[in-house]
Amino acid sequence: MGVQPRYKELAENLGAVTAVRRELARCLPHDCPAGAVTALMLLARFGEMRMSKLAELLAIDMSVTSRHVAQLDARGWIDRHPDPLDGRSRLLKLNSSGQELLDQVSERYTNALAASLGDWSDDDIGRLNELLARLRTSFAQAGITTRTPAQR
Amino acid sequence: MGVQPRYKELAENLGAVTAVRRELARCLPHDCPAGAVTALMLLARFGEMRMSKLAELLAIDMSVTSRHVAQLDARGWIDRHPDPLDGRSRLLKLNSSGQELLDQVSERYTNALAASLGDWSDDDIGRLNELLARLRTSFAQAGITTRTPAQR
DNA sequence: TATTGTTATACTCTATAACTATA
DNA sequence: TATAGTTATAGAGTATAACAATA
């Protein structure tokens, strides 16, 4: 197969991932939208950060990030304290309640994936992880240089 | 790595695909939402079908599919004709105008992917395609048996 | 009575633009 | 003047529930 058809196929397959994510989201607690989990995962993985950094990691506009963060704060999953280096900024940090939620969600996600992918080999899951991680970075690098949400 | 951490990692990586899809959607014509393209791709791949079949392929509720299809029809990308076998149903079919749009969108998607993934080997893209296709089927099979949108 | 599809309503996620406060 | 973040408004996508028409 030439590379052109592979790209076309990839575009179709990426569309199908949406369905998988939706399915996965069904196992979340009712007061916990999927977007919140994504943000919390990033705060868990990369630690304390500013709004603008989180927006960059999420690859969404800061205005949207701002609303998500306000929700996370309202639900008591993160703490916001002033950035000593810049009075305009606040630093975001996952707190113990958020960590607890994240642990619970991770367990549910893991169970849901195990139920669907039980017949996958460990290696295949690892390969998919590698390729998806690479896809993310490839797109992030290219995305910055093209047109994207406001601040870019 | 054990299999549990791999599942957790996969959940995170699937979240990141959302950003890729959003980025990809930016290259679409202004009057053509990404959801429309997904539906058209399925009609192109699997041919004429009923609403309920399309809803199943999209893995969304038929009520939502109904609205998407109404849009596709309003934009003149599909034809709907009565199902001779069942008066309640109408058969959906991509028409020449829809095919034309789809060709144009496929080209844009391909260009966007080529720009971001230019340094990927043909084999790696093929491997990602295989794994994503398998992910879709694994989830579809498991999903049907658990709880899902209304009609299941 | 069950099934196919449609419509009404509500919620999540996102973008753009206008705004506030600080640098 | 520029930057960090917030808020208002609008649009896409989805789910549930109530409904119409046909089987």
- Give residue-wise pLDDT tens across range A109-146: 999 999 999 999 999 999 999 999 999 999 887 765 44
> Is residue A150 predicted with pLDDT exceeding 60?
no
What pLDDT, in 10s, does the model give residues A87-109? 999 999 999 999 999 999 999 99
Of B21, B129, B147, the CB nearest to A6: B129
What pLDDT, in 10s, does the model give residues B56-106? 999 999 999 999 999 999 999 999 999 999 999 999 999 999 999 999 999
| Nucleic strand D under 7 Å from the C-beta of A78 | no
> Is residue B148 predicted with pLDDT exceeding 50?
no
Question: Which alpha helices (DSSP H) does A1-152 contain, by range?
Answer: 3-25, 34-46, 51-58, 62-74, 96-116, 122-145
Whether A126 sits inside 8 A of B14 (CB atoms) is no
- Residue B37 falls in which region: left (phi positive, over 0), alpha (psi -120 to 50) or beta: alpha
Question: Which alpha helices (DSSP H) does B2-90 contain, by range?
Answer: 3-25, 34-46, 51-58, 62-74
Record the tokens describing residue B115, joined without a space.
């720009």
Whether A126 sits inside 8 A of B59 (CB atoms) is no
- B42's CB contacts (< 8 A; 6+ apart) are B54, B57, B58
**Partner A, chain B 37-76, Cβ-Cβ below 8 Å:** 37-38, 41, 45, 58-60
User: Which residues is A92 bridged to in the sheet?
Assistant: A49, A80
Give the helix/strand (H/E) hosting B136.
helix B122-145
What residues in B contact A3, CB-CB < 8 Å? Answer: 114, 122, 125
- Higher confidence at residue A30 or residue A141? A30
| Nucleic strand C under 7 Å from the C-beta of A34 | yes
> Is residue B145 predicted with pLDDT exceeding 50?
no
